[in-house]
Amino acid sequence: MPDPSPAFGREATSRPSRASLRTAVVWDVLKDALDRRVGATGKDGLDVLDTGGGSGNFAVPVARLGHRVTVVDPSPNALFALERRAAEAGVADLVTGVQGDVRGLFDVVGREGYDAVLCHGVLEYVDDPAEGVRNAVAALRPGGSLSLLAAGVGGAVLARA
């Protein structure tokens, strides 16, 4: 199966932007963590939560790997774009969009319901980043993986919860 990375698909001769290089690195780390989690759980597909996942830049490629992805985002427009993108990629049955945010996360999803949680570019926009991290961690099943990206922090951090 081709790599569903969001950074792939551009012409091999084109010069990648810094953002696409960063996305490719994040994707490689994330995919490795998901593969390890599949091995640890013995499941074919994981339950993944993407907080602030918008139109699905990571959610759709994760779903293309066979995982079930729930995207929580405050923007109805982003969720509409997510639905369209998931349908175009043939993974509409694996991607669910829910309007909400990391602050009120448990108003829309359950605690300890996910094998992996993505929290990319969210903490910069919330009043209490520590609460955002606590909620992201509380959404994880025991042994789950958290992928946390925040501007100015310097990259991807994957940690066991």
Residue 5 domain flag: no
- Is the separation of the CB atoms in 98 and 77 below 8 Å? no
Mean pLDDT of the chain: 86
Tokens of residue 103, six digits: 């602050």
* Distance separating alpha carbons of residues 124 and 126, to the nearest angstrom: 6
Give the pLDDT confidence of 49-94 residue by residue, as tens digits.
999 999 999 999 999 999 999 999 999 999 999 999 999 999 999 9
Buried b (16+ CB within 10 A) or exposed e, 79-91: bebbbebbeebeb
Residue 8 domain flag: no
Residue 76 pLDDT: 98
**pLDDT confidence bin for 16, thresholds 50/70/90:** low
Residue 17 pLDDT: 61
> Which CATH number goes with the domain that contains 79?
3.40.50.150
Amino acid, single-letter form, for residue 73:
D
**pLDDT confidence bin for 156, thresholds 50/70/90:** very low
Q: How many domains does the chain have?
A: 1
| Domain housing 62 | 18-160
- Is the separation of the CB atoms in 85 and 105 below 8 Å? no
- Is the separation of the CB atoms in 149 and 124 below 8 Å? no
Residue 7 pLDDT: 42
By the 10 Å C-beta count (0-12 exposed, 13-18 middle, 19+ buried), 51 is classed as buried
Residue 13 domain flag: no
Residue 115 domain flag: yes
Give the pLDDT confidence of 97-130 residue by residue, as tens digits.
999 999 999 999 999 999 999 999 998 888 899 9
